Amino acid sequence: MNKKFLDFIQPYSNRPLAVAVSGGVDSICLLYWLSQIKLKPTVLHVNHCLRDAALTEAQYVQDTCDKLGLPCKVFCWTAEKPATGLEAAAREARYKMMTDWCHANGIDTLLVAHQADDQIETFLMNLARGSGVIGLSAMQQVSYRDGIQIVRPLLNVFRSELIEYCDSHNIKYFSDEMNYDDKYTRVKIRQNRHLLSDKLGISDNRILLAIKNLARTRDALETGIESKTQGILYDGYALFHDSFLFDEPTDIGLKLLGTLIKTIGGDNYQPRLNSLNNALNRLRSECKFTLGHCTIRRFKDQILIVPEGAKTSIRKKNEKLKRLKKIKQQN
């Protein structure tokens, strides 16, 4: 068993856990490792109802949990499937079902089986998009989604080790045919990533080191950003002087704007970098537009961000703030 995994998972040994298990090698290996160190998480499996093999896989996960003595909950995604963006929609639905279940059952930590190869692929996909520090730092080992802590204990473990463990212990797992369909960008990267090492000498470990260094920068940046935005967030909206964004270096201004939109709009991720760039440029003059489930308005030297559909009167927001400040002073 991988020592990095053991060192990382130790602090989670005395708390209630859920673990997402698809039936693939990554999550099946994670499940067996957790069982081997005597952890007893609740297993959550989502049948997306997209493939003929889905019922067989769901039954295998249930049978494996019975064998290991672990509780298991199987969800079915029965909603109408979108014609485009199916992969993203399936991911959103999967997390929504699992995090809702965690809230309902008093579990605040969900383990997922993303591993080192996933991390490198995410980095390269974001590199292709021209992402900044946030995107290039890829996935965090600990993050939050819908108020649930998402923990990735395998981010420093390569898929080859997981396959070797399962094969050597005669542990069955499934392979999703979508993982071999090169119409998906991630699959194209997976099939050709070896060229970086073979042709350019850029090893997987060097890429992981770069991601780790970028993650330190991201963490430092986000700590400062979160602190700074608290001062202009009110009851579900933000109101501030334009200098809040434009007196900062552009990278900081973009991150401030993205954080505010994510917080007020309620999304799990901030808008893409090119969308934030366009928004920041538009805010250099008076404007009104929507982005990330928010309405953003600039009037004179003030900027207002509210949830999409809310009223956008800057004058009324200022009057409300004056009344609140007066009440606070009187108390």
Burial of 314 (0-12, 13-18, 19+ CB in 10 A): middle
Contact by Cβ (8 Å): 97, 46 = yes
Backbone angles phi, psi at 147, to 5 degrees: 80, 5
Beta strands in 62-106 (DSSP E): 72-76
- Whether 25 and 169 map to the same domain: the answer is yes
* pLDDT score at 103: 97
pLDDT of amino acid 227: 87
Residues 188 and 243 in one domain: no
Radius of gyration of the chain from Cα atoms? 23
pLDDT at 326: 76
Q: Which of 102, 205, 208 is closest to 145 using CA atoms?
A: 102
Q: What is the pLDDT along the chain (331 residues), one digit of tens a residue?
A: 889 999 999 999 889 999 999 999 999 999 999 999 999 999 999 999 888 888 999 999 999 999 999 999 999 998 888 888 888 888 999 999 999 999 999 999 999 999 999 999 999 999 998 888 888 999 999 999 989 999 999 999 999 999 999 999 999 999 877 777 777 888 899 999 999 999 999 999 999 999 999 999 988 888 889 889 988 998 889 999 999 999 999 989 999 999 999 999 998 888 988 999 999 999 999 999 999 999 999 999 999 999 999 999 999 888 888 887 777 777 6
Q: Is residue 218 part of a domain?
A: no
Do 137 and 240 fall into the same domain? Answer: no
Please tell me the chain's helix, strand, coil percentages from 3-state DSSP, rounded to the nearest 5.
Answer: 55, 15, 30
Residue 299's DSSP bridge partners are 302
- Domain termination site, one of 200, 224, 259: 200
Answer yes or no: do 24 and 151 share one domain.
yes
Give the DSSP letter string of 218-255.
Answer: HHHHHHHHHHHHGGGB-SS-EEEETHHHHTS-HHHHHH
Q: Do 114 and 169 fall into the same domain?
A: yes
Same domain, 137 and 82: yes
- Asked if residue 286 and residue 189 are part of one domain, the reply reads no
* Cα–Cα dist 38/17, whole Å: 12
CATH number of domain containing 302: 3.30.465.60
d(CA 261, CA 32): 40
Domain count of the fold of the chain:
2
Q: Which residue has the tokens 């703030």?
A: 321
**Residue 162 and residue 293 in one domain:** no
Structure tokens at 68: 């290991």
Based on the fold, state whether residues 49 and 172 are members of the same structural domain.
yes
Q: Which of 142, 177, 200 is a domain's end point? A: 200
Cα–Cα distance measured from residue 218 to residue 197, given in angstroms and rounded to the nearest whole number:
26
Crossing angle for the helix pair 273-282 and 250-265, to the nearest 10 degrees = 100
> Does a structural domain hold residue 221?
no
Q: What is the CATH number of the domain that holds 89?
A: 3.40.50.620
Residue 267 lies in domain: 233-330
Residue 225 resides in a domain: no
pLDDT of 4 = 92
- Tell me: do 288 and 195 sit in the same domain: no
Is residue 309 included in any domain, yes or no? Answer: yes
Q: What is the pLDDT of residue 331?
A: 65
pTM for this prediction: 0.83
In a domain, 209, yes or no: no
Residues 6+ apart with CB under 8 A from 107: 16, 17, 18, 42, 101, 148
Task: Flag whether 248 is in a domain.
Answer: yes
User: Residues 288, 160: one domain?
Assistant: no
Residue 31: C-alpha distances to residues 34, 64, 154, 164, 202 (Å): 5, 9, 11, 15, 32
Place of tokens 């204990």: 153
Are 160 and 115 a contacting pair, CB within 8 Å? no
Co-location of 126 and 192 in the same domain: yes
Closest Cα partner for 92 from 33, 152, 30, 145? Answer: 145
Residue 214 lies in a domain: no
Among the candidates 152, 176, 200, a domain finishes at 200
- Token code pair at residue 185: 């960008």
Asked if residue 205 is part of any domain, the answer here is no
Beta strands 302-307 and 294-299 are antiparallel
Beta bridge partners of 284: none
